[in-house]
């Protein structure tokens, strides 16, 4: 059933972080209704839309607004990811929603937040993480910061931050009886994710220069390397005993590798290690290092990852109607989430009947 069984969520359809947050809520057992514009096709390959019905509603008209408010009256949570003011323009802002349902938790997902000089400007993940310092820290020295996949801003600093806020408010409403607005900004969330780096910088252990720090590619024992077959491996042997394991198994002999934490030795150590790694294929390195305390892993692509033995053993991926999905996470000992469903369409009348029946049963 999932630990959030019985929780009702209205999701105003969007892209990226808000649907991801709604997906996780649905994975964990909440009943999520996804509101989309009329004529929006349901794509069974859309992983972010899984495990919840899609309902077509025109929120620009009074009839559609009234229908959404009827749903909101019964909901525990609302999620929206529009620019500030769009929900208010359509008669669905926090004031209108809380008049109908004072206990409603109103989750707002934006890049810049609900206020501030940039609040109404367009942007994407790369922009939101740029003003936090995070983007400047990614990449190789003397190169421009590369456009990263949108894990940091959209999904970590965005969708996950919104999820934490919603669950915290869901706990608090039990005591107060009152809902509240969650202003989740990707720029705020990315800054929060950077707390560890700010701590290291305050202690004098982190430089602004890319690829000059322990964890950003400067250290030879914490980087990726090309193998003889053109594929890559990842090494992360930070602790001395793990570094020694790496040395023993890879034959890193001689005084060159003695001073692990001396940054002045890193460039020559990395050059030597690169040559050693390039002498064998990725599979050969897996045979030698995988599963040991050398802190090693092969760098897998999207097709290889689901077939890795560890992911297979943990059933980290599942197939739903011939579409590969990451399985719900984390794991629960009693209230295990159900296997995801492909997204599907439902009429507004069907949703209202379902929610009304559920309310009577409780």
The token duo for 234 is 């990842």
Q: Is 310 a catalytic residue?
A: no
CA distances from 126 to 77, 113, 148, 186, 210 (A): 28, 15, 7, 10, 17
- Where do the H-state alpha helices sit in 2-111? 17-27, 62-74, 86-89, 94-100
What is the DSSP track for 159-174?
A: IIHHHHHHHHHHHHHH
Q: Is 124 a catalytic residue?
A: yes
CA separation for the pair 75, 220 (Å, rounded): 52
Helix (H, G, I), strand (E, B) or coil at 145: coil
CA angle 79, 10, 108 (to 5 degrees): 10
Cβ atoms of 321 and 340 within 8 Å: the answer is no
Give φ, ψ of 71 to 5 degrees. Answer: -65, -45
Given the residues 27, 76, 154, 188, select the one marked as catalytic. Answer: 154
Cβ atoms of 314 and 247 within 8 Å: the answer is no
Cβ atoms of 228 and 221 within 8 Å: the answer is no
Given the residues 46, 58, 70, 124, select the one marked as catalytic. Answer: 124
CA nearest 18: which of 154, 126, 116?
154
Cβ atoms of 224 and 233 within 8 Å: the answer is yes
Report the catalytic residues: 124, 154
């Amino acid at each position: 059933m999932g630990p959030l069984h019985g929780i009702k969520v209205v999701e105003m359809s969007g892209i990226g972080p808000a649907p991801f947050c709604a997906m996780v809520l649905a994975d964990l057992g909440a009943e999520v209704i996804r509101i989309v514009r009329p004529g929006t096709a349901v794509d069974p390959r859309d992983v972010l839309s899984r495990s919840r019905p899609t309902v077509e509603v025109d929120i620009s008209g009074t009839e559609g607004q009234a229908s959404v408010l009827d749903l909101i009256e019964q909901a525990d949570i609302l999620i929206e990811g529009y620019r500030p003011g769009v929900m208010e323009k359509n008669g669905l802002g926090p004031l209108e929603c809380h008049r109908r349902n004072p206990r409603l938790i109103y989750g707002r997902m934006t890049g810049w937040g609900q206020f501030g000089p940039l609040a109404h400007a367009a942007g994407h993940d790369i922009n939101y993480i740029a003003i936090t310092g995070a983007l400047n820290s990614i990449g190789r020295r003397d190169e421009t910061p590369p456009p990263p996949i949108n894990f940091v801003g959209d999904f970590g600093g965005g969708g996950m931050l919104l999820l934490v806020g919603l669950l915290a408010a869901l706990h608090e409403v039990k005591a107060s009886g009152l809902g509240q607005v969650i202003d989740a900004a990707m720029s705020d969330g990315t800054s929060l994710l950077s707390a560890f780096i700010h701590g290291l910088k305050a202690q004098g252990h982190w430089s602004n220069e890319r690829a000059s720090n322990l964890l950003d590619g400067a250290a030879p024992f914490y980087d990726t390397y090309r193998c003889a077959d053109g594929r890559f491996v990842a090494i992360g042997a930070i602790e001395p005993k793990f570094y020694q394991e790496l040395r023993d198994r890879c034959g890193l002999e001689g005084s060159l590798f003695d001073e692990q934490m001396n940054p002045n030795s890193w460039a020559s150590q990395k050059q030597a290690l690169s040559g050693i790694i390039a002498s064998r294929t990725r599979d050969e390195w897996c045979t030698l290092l995988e599963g040991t305390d050398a802190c090693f892993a092969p760098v897998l692509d999207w097709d290889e990852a689901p077939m890795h033995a560890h992911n297979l053993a943990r059933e980290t991926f599942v197939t739903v109607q011939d579409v590969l999905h990451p399985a719900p996470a984390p794991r629960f000992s009693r209230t295990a989430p159900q296997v995801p469903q492909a997204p599907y369409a439902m009429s507004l009348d069907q949703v209202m009947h379902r929610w009304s029946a559920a309310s009577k049963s409780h």
